[in-house]
Amino acid sequence: MGADTQKAIFEAAKSLIETKGFSAMTLRQLAAEVGLQPGSIYRYFESKDALLQALMNQHMLSLLESWNKVEGKGEDEDEDEDPVSRLRAFVAFHIRYHIERRADVIIANLELRALGDDYRADVVTKRSHYEANLRAILAEGVKAGVFPQVDLEVAAYAIIAMLTGVCFWYRSDGRLSIDEIIEVHQKLVLQGVVG
Amino acid sequence: MGADTQKAIFEAAKSLIETKGFSAMTLRQLAAEVGLQPGSIYRYFESKDALLQALMNQHMLSLLESWNKVEGKGEDEDEDEDPVSRLRAFVAFHIRYHIERRADVIIANLELRALGDDYRADVVTKRSHYEANLRAILAEGVKAGVFPQVDLEVAAYAIIAMLTGVCFWYRSDGRLSIDEIIEVHQKLVLQGVVG
DNA sequence: CTATTAATCAAACGAACGTTCGTTTAATTA
DNA sequence: TAATTAAACGAACGTTCGTTTGATTAATAG
């Protein structure tokens, strides 16, 4: 029975933190949302901070694992697709994942400073590992002569910021579908506005 | 004499909110930073919320005014520069402004949800006015045939997210100068990674 | 059916919160 | 110099925070 309750706490916490922020969310609000007394939350988390740490770590691991599944799926075959295809795949994956897990992403991006130093360093490291995947694709493209010379670090930051930005304005009842949004971004990343 | 104190409160608040977030910042911390007693802050702001509102409004007005100065400087002459030049100018302005006013920008982007509904709506409107400047440049480029067809709304969101992202990783003692960072972004915005 | 463990409640804890207020000090004006 | 205003103090207000604790109910096992 406890597993369901923990999941309920996680989900309610995500929603509350997404809309109000971690510091502004109180354990009384969280408990009320789940249908518990405030003290009962401590059966599942040893502190409010530990709850945020769990959410963050969960998200970062899931993000890394999800991308690895997308890229490494072929194992033997299609291991070495061309850089353009891989970059297009990264754009599609990143946007789709960030829209589907909006709350996790917003928490991971906005609540880093609410984390203790040690845990923040860990999250930053994991994020850097994720970004390294994009840098590797860009580096390969530059090496193959498909992409002109560009600063890999800045380009990776820029592209990720651009893609992550989607989940701050996307609405499921909006004008464009996710696929259409992905297409626009693939074009922008690859060719810019002048094409 | 009071004007200096108010400025000191503003500056200390910006710094504290930038690093800890608005909800996590206490008036006792803020007062200590300025060298005041907590209650004394209420000579200058009628509430903690009003302080955030003032900071946000200040920033949005300054941002809009600063861009207007950059674009409208020629008055009669160079009013109609080509879209590429105007877009390059926008990229340079946005990055430079966001690096120079890091604290204001981070607050405006991360603390929207700490604002009351009315004030948030006002800030969102002002931000939309700023974004309209970029959309207008893009629209002009498309109309002139310099830029291929593109969704103006999505493209503007994407470009602004990319540029604003700089102030989350930029360090003044970093590898690249601001001018170099601007150059990389101008190239990415205009031509993407394939060029 | 009973004993044991797990899950939750209800109540309270001390600390810290934003805010108020009467008083005191410093500066300005007359 | 005396009267007035501005600025800051210092202490307290009621409230709410995260957290702890001991009793109570629900589920499981022997």
All domains in chain A, ordered by first residue: 1-45 (1.10.10.60), 56-191 (1.10.357.10)
Quickly list DSSP for chain A. -HHHHHHHHHHHHHHHHHHH-TTT--HHHHHHHHT--GGGGGGT-SSHHHHHHHHHHHHHHHHHHHHHHHHSTTTTTT-S--HHHHHHHHHHHHHHHHHHTHHHHHHHHHSGGGS-HHHHHHHHHHHHHHHHHHHHHHHHHHHTTSS----HHHHHHHHHHHHHGGGGT--TTSSS-HHHHHHHHHHHHHHTTT-
Q: Is the pLDDT confidence value at B79 over 70?
A: no
Q: Is the pLDDT confidence value at A16 over 60?
A: yes
Q: Is the pLDDT confidence value at B77 over 80?
A: no
Average pLDDT estimate for B51-76: 91
- pLDDT value of residue B140: 97
Long-range contacts of B128-133 (CB under 8 A, 24+ apart): B129/B64, B130/B60, B130/B63, B130/B64, B130/B67, B131/B156, B131/B157, B131/B160, B133/B67, B133/B71, B133/B90
Q: pLDDT for A21-56, tens place per residue? A: 999 999 999 999 999 999 999 999 999 999 999 999
Q: For A176, which of B147, B151, B195 is closest by C-beta distance?
A: B151
B178 to chain A, any CB pair closer than 8 A? The answer is no
Q: pLDDT for A49-78, tens place per residue? A: 999 999 999 999 999 999 999 988 766 555
- pLDDT value of residue B76: 58
Percent of chain B with pLDDT over 90: 92
Q: pLDDT for A94-115, tens place per residue? A: 999 999 999 999 999 999 999 9
Residue nearest to nucleotide D28 (CA to C1'): A1
Report residue A2's pLDDT band, with 50, 70 and 90 as the boundaries. confident
Q: Is the pLDDT confidence value at A191 over 80?
A: yes
Q: Is the pLDDT confidence value at B78 over 60?
A: no
Report residue B89's pLDDT band, with 50, 70 and 90 as the boundaries. very high
Which A residues in the span 113-172 are in contact with B, Cβ-Cβ below 8 Å?
113-114, 138, 141, 146-148, 150-151, 153-155, 157-162, 164-166, 168-169
Rounded to whole angstroms, the Cα distance separating B178 from B184 reads: 10
